[in-house]
């Protein structure tokens, strides 16, 4: 087994999350790339592409971006799972790449700050919904408990509980869509930063070749 075959075999182990077709396409592409470039030494390959594990993180991030972009066609919002998958895979790809990591400490700071903001807003929304649910339960329980001995008081608390229940039912889908939109927003931000970093990496590589 030569250096190219060894590298591709190791890369294949890290691409299990992809479908068979996606994995085959990726392996064929990099196999041809290495062959066309004429890299015969394993160190040459890793110097150009990174280790198989590092390259796999980039490939997984690229495929997750494609899947997320497909979901957002025609103005639709991608699923929260898809958006968070894009974000975390991009973070991993940036951190594990020796080139992009050196160029992207500021970008990582932006993404971490964005994550903290989204997390804070999401916790606030969930806390508000839980607070409304708790208050609704207390009011309804109190109203039903005293309605026999104090009808007017029971009706008041029950009515307030029903009103809060209606508000809760309105707020739940709104909160869901806000959190989903925030997830898509942070995914879009991470994709934008990732593409910029890849462009900087390409420019950096071209300068090294020229020198």
Residue 192 resides in a domain: yes
Its pTM surpasses 0.85: no
Q: For residue range 102-155, list pLDDT tens digits in order.
A: 667 778 888 889 999 999 999 999 999 999 999 999 999 999 988 888 889 999
Q: For residue range 47-100, list pLDDT tens digits in order.
A: 888 889 989 998 999 989 888 888 877 667 778 888 888 889 888 888 877 665
Domain that holds residue 100: 90-210
Q: Count of domains in the chain? A: 1
In the structure, what pLDDT confidence band is assigned to residue 168 with cuts at 50, 70 and 90? very high
Residue 94 resides in a domain: yes
Structure tokens at 129: 């919904």
Residue 34 resides in a domain: no
Residue 75, Ramachandran bin (φ over 0: left; ψ between -120 and 50: alpha; else beta): left
Quote the Cα angle for 102-108-110, to 5°.
135
């Amino acid at each position: 087994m030569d250096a190219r075959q060894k590298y591709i075999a190791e890369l294949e182990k890290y691409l299990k999350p992809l479908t068979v077709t996606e994995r085959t396409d990726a392996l064929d592409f990099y196999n041809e790339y290495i062959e066309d470039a004429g890299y015969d030494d394993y160190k040459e390959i890793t110097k150009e592409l990174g280790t198989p594990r590092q390259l796999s993180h980039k490939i997984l991030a690229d495929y997750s971006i494609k899947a997320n972009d497909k979901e957002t066609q025609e103005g639709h919002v991608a699923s929260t799972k898809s958006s968070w998958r894009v974000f975390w895979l991009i973070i991993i790809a940036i951190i594990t790449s020796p080139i992009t990591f050196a160029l992207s400490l500021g970008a990582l700071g932006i993404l971490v700050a964005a994550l903290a903001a989204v997390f804070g807003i999401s916790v606030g929304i969930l806390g508000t919904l839980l607070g409304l649910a708790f208050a609704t339960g207390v009011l309804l329980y109190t109203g039903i408990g005293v309605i026999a001995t104090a009808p007017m008081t029971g009706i008041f608390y029950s009515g307030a509980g029903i009103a809060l229940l209606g508000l809760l039912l309105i707020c739940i889908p709104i909160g869901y869509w806000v959190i989903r939109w925030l997830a898509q927003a942070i995914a879009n931000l991470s994709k934008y930063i990732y593409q910029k970093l890849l462009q900087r990496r390409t420019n950096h590589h071209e300068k090294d070749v020229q020198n």
